[in-house]
Structure 1
Amino acid sequence: MNAISDEIKEDYNFISDSLVDIYDQIMRIEESEIKKSRFKDITAKELHLVHTIGLHDHKTTSEVARILRLSKGTLTANLNNLERKGYIFRIRNQRDRRIINLVLTSKGRLLYRAHYAFHRKLVEQCLKGFDGSDIKKMKQALMNVEDFIGEVSGR
């Protein structure tokens, strides 16, 4: 029983270290690829903001602030930069003029698609060799992590 315990402890440590390393490497790769691309003027933080706005959702500023857990002031400053750089524009909601919807420009949509393709390749590599039940287990594991993060962050 003790050998199994040690093996499980070793697996836990491996998973913990891997999660930290993978997160760090993904961020480094994204920053490096941005610098080499035609999107040199954007930061990784701005890239994720573009991704959160999405291709066709027309999310409101309040929705994006809530999703990213940003203050409205911080979000406004970031949106001003993205708008100035030509990645997004704001439109007033036709039903409620107080609400601002966010829309990606063609440049923003191109950036979104490039970022999405990178993440799709990550998922393909992560799931290589998995069958349907393995994928369901992975999905459940990620949902468990999201739930934990939500509890810790007060979401």
Structure 2
Amino acid sequence: MTKNTAETINHEDFLFINDSLVEIFDKILRIEERELRKSRFKDITINELHLVHAITLHEQKTTSAVAHELHLSKGSLTSSVNMLVKRGYVERIRNQQDRRVINLTLTSKGRLLYRAHDAFHRQLVKSFLIGMDENDMPLIKRALTNLQNFVDEATNH
């Protein structure tokens, strides 16, 4: 494939891919919202769910690192973290090497939410890969890398 595949691809195929990506993105968000409302995590918004996911399970990230990763101002992050602390999902821990630095970690309730969200993502990946084999992986990885690069570039502007 060449760099200008988007310009040379069959119009119907282009529309199919476009419509599929838009519909899938929208439906994933709707599924996440619906499942949150049905779960014991009713008090969480989608943005807060993704903040819990960014904090991760096994490491303590600084507030600055999480804000940078999610492209949030420190003020916006602080507001969201305050709500998650209040609801028992996140803890702030002062860094032992530099007392000015605050690390974020998930509570047991936050870890449970993280694992539930991660299980959903694993189901998405497994369903995406049905019928694929090892020979398909380079193409899939290249397509996803191209999409990730585009999204990263657009996010940084």
Q: Shorter-chain-normalised TM-score: which range? A: over 0.9
Select 1:91's aligned residue among 81, 93, 107: 93
Q: d(CA) in 2 for partners of 1:122 and 1:50? A: 19
Select 1:107's aligned residue among 106, 109, 118: 109
Give the structure 2 partner of residue 70 of structure 1: 72
Give the structure 1 partner of residue 20 of structure 2: 18
Shift of 1:144: 0.8
| Contact 1:30/1:44 (<8 A) preserved | yes
- The letter of the residue matching 2:87 is K
Query: In angstroms, what is the RMSD of aligned CA positions?
Result: 1.5
Q: d(CA) in 1 for partners of 2:135 and 2:59? A: 31
Note the 1:34-49 alignment, pairs <5 A.
34-49=36-51
Shift of 1:57: 1.6
Instruction: Give 3-state SS (helix, strand or coil) of 1:91's partner.
Output: strand
Give the structure 2 partner of residue 133 of structure 1: 135
Instruction: Give 3-state SS (helix, strand or coil) of 1:141's partner.
Output: helix
- The letter of the residue matching 1:120 is R
| Contact 1:127/1:135 (<8 A) preserved | no
Q: d(CA) in 1 for partners of 2:13 and 2:108? A: 45
Q: Deviations over 1:15-49 (max 9, x none)?
A: 11111111100000000000000111111111010
Q: d(CA) in 2 for partners of 1:38 and 1:75? A: 23
- Superposition misfits of 4+ residues, deviation over 3 angstroms: none
Q: d(CA) in 2 for partners of 1:84 and 1:106? A: 14
| Structure 1: runs of 5 or more not aligned | none
Give the structure 1 partner of residue 3 of structure 2: none
| Structure 2: runs of 5 or more not aligned | 1-6
